[in-house]
Amino acid sequence: MGHGGDIPGYETRGGATDDGRAVSIAVTAIPDDGAVTERLEGVVDTALCR
């Protein structure tokens, strides 16, 4: 499990598996459509769950 967050202009997401694989994603200039968080979580899931 990871801890992400956001402040105006930045969004971060991350996570790790039990076997030690980890990923961190940072994005700047977030659009106002709200879909960015879902996309970031999808990228993290893809990276960790192959």
Handedness of CA 36, 38, 40, 42 (dihedral sign): negative
Domain that holds residue 15: 5-49
Question: In the prediction, which pLDDT does 3 show?
Answer: 66
- CB 45: neighbour CB atoms within 10 A? 13
Using the predicted structure, report yes or no on whether residue 44 has a pLDDT greater than 80.
Answer: no
* pLDDT (tens digit per residue) in 11-42: 788 888 888 888 888 877 665 666 777 887 78
Domain count, the chain: 1
Using the predicted structure, report yes or no on whether residue 1 has a pLDDT greater than 60.
Answer: no
Q: Rounded to an integer, what distance in angstroms lies between the CA atom of residue 14 and that of residue 45?
A: 9
